Structures are given as structure tokens and as C-alpha cells.
Amino acid sequence: MQYQDLFDQFDANGRLYAGAAGRPLGPVPWAAHPAFAGVQLKPLVTAAETGGAFSYHLVRIQPGCEIGLHTHDPQFETHEVIAGAGVCECGGQRIGYQPGVVAILPAGVPHKVAAGPEGLCLFAKFMPALT
């Protein structure tokens, strides 16, 4: 999977800066999504680090897998598509996901994301933080 090479850069060279101090992203482990097979998460900024204001994650969805229908309340969620392709269904709307697409998913609205045959990589941000 070509997209894997892109996200590997976050493990090899990635750094997160909050103010003047930076920290490497490589030591932050990828974890299997607790509910959806073929989905991995890398938490970059957690609720504990922001006092609950927001959280920020890298998300990898393997080819043909999906984050099934679910709802976040009270969180707004944003997706920034980095690599791969797929479809997001949110509130009855289908959004084609490809690099460069940014989607804002309102709080309380059911949504799901399915990866296409090459998989899908995105940044997901939650406001307030997902705990």
C-alpha cells in the first residue's frame, strides 16, 4: 500500500510542537480501533494534554474496511484526507474522500467512513476532546 509510506514518515521523522518544545511522534504507538477491524489510530494530542478542549489522531483504514456508523456527542469531528480514497456518509450526504478533502462532521450526526481498494489515511480532530 503506497499510502502506508506517507504515514510511516510520522513514525520516522514526525514531531509535534506545542509551543517551543517538540516531541517525536515515533514512540507514540498505533493501536487497533476498539470497535472496527482494519482501523488503526495514533493519538497525537489527547484530552489529558488539552484539558479536554480537543484531541487529534492519525487514522489508517485498511483497504475495504470501514469505521461503521456511529455518533459523537458532544464532539464535532473534522477529517483531513491525506492519502488513499474512500467515502464518508454523514447525515444522508455522501462525501468522496481523496487527498485534500476536509470534512466537518457535526456533533450528534451519525456517520461512517469506508476505505476504497487502496486504503485511506486521515487526520481526525475532535472538539471537545474524545475521551
Which residues sit opposite 86 in a β-bridge? 97, 115
pLDDT of residue 93: 95
To the nearest 10°, report the CA torsion of 101, 107, 111, 114.
40
Provide the CA 112 distance to its chain's centre, in angstroms.
12
Q: Which residues pair with 4 in a beta bridge?
A: none
CA 79 – CA 69 distance, rounded (Å):
15
C-alpha cell at 72: 459523537
Query: What are residue 57's DSSP bridge partners?
Result: 43, 124
Q: Walk along the chain (131 residues) and give the pLDDT tens digit of each residue.
A: 455 667 788 888 888 887 677 889 989 999 999 999 999 999 999 999 899 999 999 999 999 999 999 999 999 999 999 999 999 999 999 999 999 999 999 999 999 999 999 999 999 999 999 87
Query: What gap in Å lies between CA 46 and CA 126, rounded to an integer?
Result: 10
Q: Which of 56, 43, 44, 40 is nearest to 16 (CA)?
A: 44
pLDDT for the residue numbered 4 = 60
In whole angstroms, give the CA distance from residue 23 to residue 29: 14
Query: So what's the pLDDT on residue 67?
Result: 98
Please tell me the predicted confidence (pLDDT) of residue 1: 46
* Single pTM value for the model: 0.90
